Amino acid sequence: MTLEQMLARLADLQAQARAKLDQIKTDTPAADAKRIEDEHKSLLEQIRQVEANIATARAAPPAEQRTAPPAPAVADESATRTAVETAQRAERERAAGIGDLARTFQMRELGDEHVRHGTSVEAFRGVLLERLAAASDRGPANGNTRVETGGQDETQTRRDAITAALLHRHDPGRFALTEPARDYRGMALLEIAREVVEASGTRTRGMARDEIARRSLHTTSDFPAILGNVSEQTLRAAYEALESNWRPFCRRTNATDFKDKTSVRMGEAPQLVKINEAGEYTRGSITEGKEKWKIATYGKVVAITRQVIINDDLGAFTRIPQMFGVSVATLEADIIWGLITGNQVMSDGKALFHAEHKNIVSGAGNLGAPSVTTLDAARLKMRQQKGLDGKTRISVPAAFLLVPASLQTGTEQLFAAITPAQTDKVVPDSMKRLTVIAEDRLDDVSTKAWYLAANPNSSAVDTIEYAYLEGNEGPYVETREGFDVDGVELKCRLDFGGAAVEHRGFVKNPGE
């Protein structure tokens, strides 16, 4: 064998040894790992033998080398072609090995540089270790600035870009396509999954579609976090798009925990009395009222299997969150409107609307659908409310007119800008300033009853308070690798509660 042939043989054996080493590093079953390891050792032994033969050939005197019979021209050409092919294969393996290491530690530019310079894989591994050790030793600069090795910034940038691309694909009108997201525009879910798995340091060459989908949903991949971001933003968009018509006549507060929350109502200052000739002052006191309530947790978990990735079903990660968004908004409305339709029992043991609370309109002439007459009676009822001391007039102004859907059209016609022929039917401007809120949940208990409510943000009395758990305002979504299913689990949670805290802020007209 000529020296050139031995060199070609050496390059081929080295390439085979590297391939066996890569196999050992992957998730190879234990039974196969032992066999591959033995084959790797055999290749190393052959490499050592060929290296010894090359050293002997190079040390031989020139005359001895000339005594060897010349190989046929065809054999020389074949050996040269084999050597070239082997060298090219070795170069590809070297570049791929450096590329894999560079992607693992998010240092692609450094990897490209060493590929161009011809650095071996082992040498590049040493360069990487030195870089990482140096970055670790530097620590925070000036006590403020954190030195990044490039991993976190690039990882977050990639997450944001893929999230933006998927959101734009879902709803181009609502979600703009950012510049970094253009790299992922039009990519199928499986293509993105492959990209993310590769970025985590796992080679996907030759990997089955099902295996790529499964690996992308592992916690070591960015894919669950990306899908979680997409789900959360689509849920938020659907949640915020729904009109929460109860918010204007309610007041938001904060809840720091799930314990009973006490809403304290301060009464009015005691009435001043005339001081006698001796100049003696008498003591007074301020009455207090309290309502106790608390928030609760609501939630649901939905499983999404790896099949949606293989089938490129992006809708599974957008439709389900959208439905969650609608569900959350519906739940909040059910809770708040339920306080009115369910006639919540207050701390004094009486219902929110009760004759002793003096917030129910009575009298045949004062009942019926909203009109100048019935609205005047309801407003007067609210204006005549007394404070907690039972004496002080607090003159609560009405701000909202709450009507069932069956009375919406007639109520809107009442406030239309049309001058009636009879002056006693003219709607005063003060009535026109009432905000009409129509709600079909009110129809469930009565198609004729309607209500007036004060504005808790501008009047002296409250109406309904509601709260979210501090730090978890609105719905919250998170994903995790499925345990009972082969995929991911999507969980939606809401920490929310509300209660009527003041009966003086409402008046009810039973309508009949």
In three-state form (DSSP H/G/I as H, E/B as E, the rest C), the secondary structure along 378-446 is HHHHHHCCECCCCCCECCCCCCEEEEEHHHHHHHHHHCCCCCCCCHHHCCCHHHHCCEEEEEHHHHHCC
Mean of pLDDT values over 129-158? 55
Distance between CA atoms of residues 318 and 163, nearest Å: 12
pLDDT at 100: 76
pTM: 0.62
Q: What local confidence, expressed as pLDDT, does residue 153 receive?
A: 65
Distances (CA, A) of 310 to 195, 200, 216, 305: 14, 20, 11, 10
Are 494 and 475 in contact, with CB atoms under 8 Å apart?
yes
Average pLDDT over residues 260-287: 65
Write down the pLDDT at residue 445: 95
Q: Mind listing the pLDDT tens digit for each residue in 442-467?
A: 999 999 999 999 998 877 788 999 99
Residue with the two structure tokens 């309502």: 291
pLDDT at 423: 57
Separation CA 427–CA 80 (nearest Å): 103
Helix axes 73-104 and 121-138, enclosed angle (nearest 10): 20
Just give the CATH number of 244-272+281-512.
Answer: 3.30.2400.10
* Residue 220 DSSP label: T
Question: Is 4:70 a contact under the CB 8 Å cutoff?
Answer: no
- Residue of higher predicted confidence among 52 and 379: 379
Most confident range (mean pLDDT) of 52-66, 203-217, 399-413, 458-472 is 399-413
Specify burial of residue 279 (Cβ count, 10 A radius: 0-12, 13-18, 19+): exposed
Residue 141 clears pLDDT 50, i.e. is over it: no
CB atoms within 10 A of CB 420: 10
Task: Please determine, for residue 48, whether its predicted confidence score (pLDDT) is greater than 70.
Answer: yes
Question: What is the structure's pLDDT at 143?
Answer: 36
pLDDT at 23: 67
**What's CA 462's distance to the chain center, in Å?**
34
User: What are the residues whose beta carbons fall under 8 Å from the beta carbon of 476, sequence distance 6 or more?
Assistant: 492, 493, 494, 495
Instruction: Tell me which residue of 440, 472, 441, 436 sits closest to 453, measured CA to CA.
Output: 436
What is the average pLDDT across 308-317?
A: 77
Average pLDDT over residues 149-160: 69
pLDDT in tens, 172-189: 888 888 888 888 888 888
* Residues 488-508: tens digit of each pLDDT: 788 889 999 999 999 999 999
Q: Could you tell me which of 352, 334, 283, 332 has the C-alpha nearest to residue 466? A: 332
N-terminal to C-terminal alpha carbon distance within the chain = 112
Full DSSP string of 296-329: EEEEEEEEEETHHHHTT-GGGGTHHHHHHHHHHH
14-28, 222-236, 454-468, range with the lowest pLDDT: 14-28
Which residues of the chain does CATH 3.30.2400.10 include? 244-272+281-512
Task: Evaluate if residue 57 carries a pLDDT over 90.
Answer: no
Give the distance between the most distant pair of CA atoms in the chain.
143
- Asked if the model's pLDDT at residue 309 lies above 60, the reply is yes
Average pLDDT of the residues of the chain: 79
Of 56 and 78, which is predicted with more confidence?
A: 56
Q: What integer is the mean pLDDT of 137-166?
A: 61
For residue range 330-351, list pLDDT tens digits in order: 999 999 999 999 999 998 899 9
